[in-house]
Amino acid sequence: MASSDKPSSDMSGSEKSNTDSEAPKIEFPCDYPIKVVGKAGNELHTFVLEVMESHSPGFDQTRITIRDSRNGNFQAITVTIIATGEPQLQAIFADLKVSPLVQIVL
């Protein structure tokens, strides 16, 4: 009987896994890191700061990290903001993606 109980508990565990893995819920407001990868240079940095400032006025600029690629052609700029909701994040991502300087937004 113990063997028949075990598969049923495994099944209930897998059911929970399926529902838990669908879409993680974010509670706003929260700290939210946004990584922008693009062509290295001051233009990218300035553009990212302008977009962040327009959607998250007064964000903490000490929470910015910049990593150069191995050859120095690209930069990864991570900015952590206090996100207020999904519409704000969608607008930030949309505004960042329009620039030819930006390769990826994560």
**70: pLDDT strictly greater than 50:** yes
Is 30 a residue whose pLDDT tops 90?
yes
Question: Could you tell me the residue range of the domain that residue 57 belongs to?
Answer: 30-105
Distance CA 59, CA 52 (A): 8
Mean pLDDT over each residue of the chain, to the nearest integer: 86
Report pLDDT for 17.
Answer: 46
Residue 11 lies in a domain: no
Mean pLDDT of 65-84: 96
Q: Is the peptide bond before 87 cis (omega within 30 degrees of 0)?
A: no
Angle at 86 between CA 81 and CA 67, to 5 degrees: 35
> Is residue 74 one of the residues assigned to a domain?
yes
Rg from Cα positions in the chain? 20
The percentage of residues in the chain with a pLDDT greater than 70, rounded to a whole number, is 77
Residue 79 in any domain: the answer is yes
Residue 66, CA atoms < 13 Å, CB-side half-sphere:
16
pTM of the model: 0.76
CATH number for the domain harbouring residue 85: 3.30.70.260
Residue 39 lies in a domain: yes
